[in-house]
């Protein structure tokens, strides 16, 4: 009985250690992918960062593709959480900037995922599909938010040939270009460099400015002045 009891106590501890190692691998990989690019990051370098063997890493993830898939799962959850402020109510001014800042920071933390389209497709067709699905999810979220703001009167309905979908797609293009073109600051890998987040928010605002009220513009400009 005592041997079985000891094993019963050991199993949860073993699972906890395994989960901690898995999480550490994902975090180290995310940093390496963002800093050096997915293609230039070898699995043994990730293992070296964690002072574990390549075999230990391979026990948890069978290659780079599985690591990226695990990070994509985490990104899905973080995007869903960061999107909630946009739909709880139509944010304006300070609330709008905070909601955007939170969402864009999540994308920044996983920017490698949006900067390696061809390489991800080469690793696995499933990863290419995951990337397309991620972009579609973001596009759908912005489209829905734009439609909601028009319905609430926060934004004016655009005249043809523009539409809520066109506005949303332009916003997504601004975001993706920002992720691809902004040079990272190695001293703050998980947050955008100083001024970069403000730059993206200003470009985002440039897309929606023709359709928002003067009151929204005034609140937005005053709130942005505090950042």
Interval 203-227: pLDDT, tens: 998 998 999 888 888 888 887 776 6
DSSP 212: B
Q: Where exactly are the structural domains of the chain?
A: 1-62, 72-224
With a cut of 70, say whether residue 8 has pLDDT above it.
Answer: no
What dihedral do alpha carbons 172, 178, 181, 186 form, nearest 10°? -140
**Cα separation, 196 vs 168, whole angstroms:** 21
Show the tokens assigned to 40: 């230039």
CA distances from 3 to 7, 18, 39 (A): 6, 22, 47
* Overall fold of domain 1-62: Arc Repressor Mutant, subunit A (1.10.10)
Asked, colleague to colleague, whether 1-62 and 72-224 share their fold, the answer is no
Q: What is the CATH number of domain 72-224?
A: 1.10.357.10
pLDDT tens per residue, range 47-100:
999 999 999 999 999 989 999 999 999 999 999 899 888 776 666 667 778 888
For residue 4, what pLDDT band results from cuts at 50, 70 and 90?
low
Residue pLDDT, tens place only, 87-96: 766 666 677 7
- pLDDT over 60 (residue 6): no
């Amino acid at each position: 009985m005592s041997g079985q009891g000891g094993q019963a106590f050991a199993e949860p501890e073993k699972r906890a250690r395994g989960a901690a190692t898995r999480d550490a691998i994902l975090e180290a990989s995310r940093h390496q992918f963002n800093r050096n690019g997915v293609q230039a990051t070898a699995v043994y370098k990730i293992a070296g960062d964690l002072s574990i063997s390549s075999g230990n890493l391979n026990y948890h993830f069978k290659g780079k593709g599985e690591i990226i898939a695990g990070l994509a799962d985490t990104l899905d959850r973080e995007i869903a959480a960061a999107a909630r402020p946009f739909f709880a109510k139509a944010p304006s001014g300070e609330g709008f900037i905070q909601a955007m800042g939170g969402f864009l920071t999540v994308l920044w933390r996983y920017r490698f995922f949006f900067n390696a389209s061809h390489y991800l497709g080469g690793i696995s067709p499933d990863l290419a599909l995951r990337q397309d699905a991620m972009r579609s999810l973001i596009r759908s979220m912005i489209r829905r938010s734009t439609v909601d703001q028009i319905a609430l009167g926060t934004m004016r309905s655009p005249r043809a040939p523009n539409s809520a979908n066109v506005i949303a797609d332009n916003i997504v293009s601004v975001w993706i270009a920002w992720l691809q073109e902004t040079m990272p600051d190695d001293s703050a890998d998980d947050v955008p460099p100083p001024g970069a987040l403000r730059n993206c928010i200003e470009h985002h605002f440039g897309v929606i400015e023709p359709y928002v009220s003067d009151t929204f513009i005034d609140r937005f400009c005053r709130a942005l002045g505090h950042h």
